[in-house]
Amino acid sequence: MIVRAVKTALFSGIAFGALMAPLLILLYGTKTGSICAGAGGVSFGIILSAFVEWQRKKMESPSGNFEGEEILFQGPANHFLNRESRGGFLTLTPTRLAFRSHGMNVQNSNFDVLTSEIEKALPARSLGIIPNGLRVQKKEGAIEKYVVMANKDWVARIMEIKGEVDGEV
């Protein structure tokens, strides 16, 4: 848990500080702007990491059971619905990929994709650079987009289940 929290704090803090630095340097000069960007990055990273761990404790199922099904993989995620990036928790079971909102979103509905409806899962990059995206293409053509940690692990697990569901394994 500590390693995971530190990684979250570092990645998010560095990204936030780097994005804010040019603006803060422009507004306050090199020295003050750099100090503010660094302090803002550290603060943002710590706060975001604490929030993610709090949500994980609240939503993760330690029993290995999710709504009567075996949990194969789970973790915090964002799901894009319309124009909102909804925060919550993503759970993979033998029959579905289930997103549950953490309740602090405009659209708090549950969202499930049956594994039998999945054509393929692909890793993606958020903003074209951050390797934390997950794209799930349904057989009818619709694509569901998520932001997750360990996106390649998610892809491997989903494709493994898809193979079992479709009888390929």
- Predicted confidence at residue 169, as pLDDT, reads 38
Based on the fold, state whether residues 44 and 124 are members of the same structural domain. Answer: no
Choose one of 43, 59, 75: the last residue of a domain: 59
Tell me how far apart the alpha carbons of residues 160 and 156 are, in angstroms, rounded to a whole number. Answer: 6
Based on the fold, state whether residues 142 and 76 are members of the same structural domain. Answer: yes
Q: Which amino acid is at 141?
A: G
Based on the fold, state whether residues 95 and 119 are members of the same structural domain. Answer: yes
Write the CA distances from 161 to 44, 65, 75, 123, 150, integer angstroms: 36, 17, 17, 16, 17
- pLDDT < 50 regions, the chain: 167-169
CATH number at residue 118: 2.30.29.30
Choose one of 59, 82, 103: the last residue of a domain: 59
| pLDDT tens per residue, range 127-158 | 888 899 999 999 999 999 999 989 999 999 99
Based on the fold, state whether residues 30 and 101 are members of the same structural domain. Answer: no
- Predicted confidence at residue 159, as pLDDT, reads 93
Based on the fold, state whether residues 95 and 35 are members of the same structural domain. Answer: no
What is the number of domains present in the chain?
Answer: 2
- Predicted confidence at residue 166, as pLDDT, reads 53
- Predicted confidence at residue 168, as pLDDT, reads 46
Based on the fold, state whether residues 94 and 38 are members of the same structural domain. Answer: no
Q: Write out the residue range of the structural domain in which residue 45 sits.
A: 2-59
Report the candidate in 8, 11, 14, 12 with the shortest Cα–Cα distance to residue 38. 14
